[in-house]
Amino acid sequence: MRSAEISRATTETEIAVSLELDGNGQFDIDTGVGFLDHMLEQLSRHSLIDLTVRAKGDLHIDMHHTTEDTGIAIGMAFSKALGDRKGIARFADAHLPMDETLSRVAIDVSGRPFLIWNVAFSVDKIGDMDTELFREWFQAFAQNAGITLHVETLYGINNHHIAESCFKALARALRSAIEIDPRRSDQVPSTKGTLGGNAD
């Protein structure tokens, strides 16, 4: 079973995450940030990754630390659950339509973290959540999951749809990228025999 648990505590947040990569999309999430909970529920449901998150943060200041640190902890758990990444498909992409919005995510579960973020919002907040924090979550997740992650909204008007389509596209891409390829289930998908660092 590809599963992991992470507990991470700082002076700003306390985060506990457990996940199962080969799940069925069950979730139990409470970060104290309503819209972030909604996005993480979408991530779990559409990736089929079972996800439990408990976060306590300094929300009396703002939502930045809770959002970023949740991304860090989920990314750490994701990487831990993958282990040596043997047998995974590794590369995947997804186009996700949501009414008038279309977003695209392409990923390489490479062990080499990188984020390209080409997503624009026309408002500063969705609900109580600052829209600038979505990039912070994706950056924290990519860095700690060890994935190359390209996120782009090709077009869209409704800011809720823009944010949600990015999380759903990530979910669908992750679902494909971490599937075990039956033709090479005992091999690391790299010519160098390892993923991470300068491996290709």
* Identity of the residue numbered 105: V
Say how many C-beta atoms besides its own lie within 10 A of residue 66's C-beta: 25
Mean pLDDT, range 81-91, rounded to an integer = 92
pLDDT in tens, 125-144: 999 999 999 999 999 999 99
Rounded-to-integer distance, Cα 140 and Cα 67, Å: 9
Q: For residue 184, what pLDDT is reported?
A: 72
- Antiparallel, parallel or unpaired: β 125-126 and 129-130: antiparallel
Mean pLDDT, range 80-96, rounded to an integer = 94
Contact at 8 Å (CB) between 168 and 42? Answer: yes
Q: For residue 63, what pLDDT is reported?
A: 97
pLDDT in tens, 11-53: 999 999 999 999 999 999 999 999 999 999 999 999 999 999 9
Mean pLDDT, range 149-174, rounded to an integer = 98
Crossing angle of helices 64-82 and 132-145, rounded to 10° = 30
Which position has the higher pLDDT, 195 or 146?
A: 146
Categorize the per-residue pLDDT at 191 as very low, low, confident or very high, splitting at 50, 70 and 90.
very low
Q: For residue 193, what pLDDT is reported?
A: 54
Q: For residue 109, what pLDDT is reported?
A: 96
Sequence-distant (≥ 6) Cβ neighbours of residue 31 within 8 angstroms? 37, 40, 53, 55, 57, 66, 67, 70
Q: Order of strands, edge to edge, in the sheet holding 3-9?
A: 3-9, 13-20, 50-57, 27-30
Q: Is the pLDDT of residue 197 over 60?
A: no
Which position has the higher pLDDT, 102 or 187?
A: 102
Q: For residue 187, what pLDDT is reported?
A: 58
User: What count of residues does the chain have?
Assistant: 200
Average pLDDT, the chain: 93
Q: For residue 182, what pLDDT is reported?
A: 81
How many Å separate Cα 64 from the centre of its chain?
Answer: 16
User: What is 3-184's CATH topology?
Assistant: Ribosomal Protein S5; domain 2 (3.30.230)
Q: Is the pLDDT of residue 119 over 70?
A: yes
Among 66-75, 103-112, 139-148, 175-184, whose mean pLDDT is lowest? Answer: 175-184
- Antiparallel, parallel or unpaired: β 125-126 and 114-118: unpaired
Q: For residue 157, what pLDDT is reported?
A: 98
* Identity of the residue numbered 21: L
Paired with 117 in beta bridges are: 151
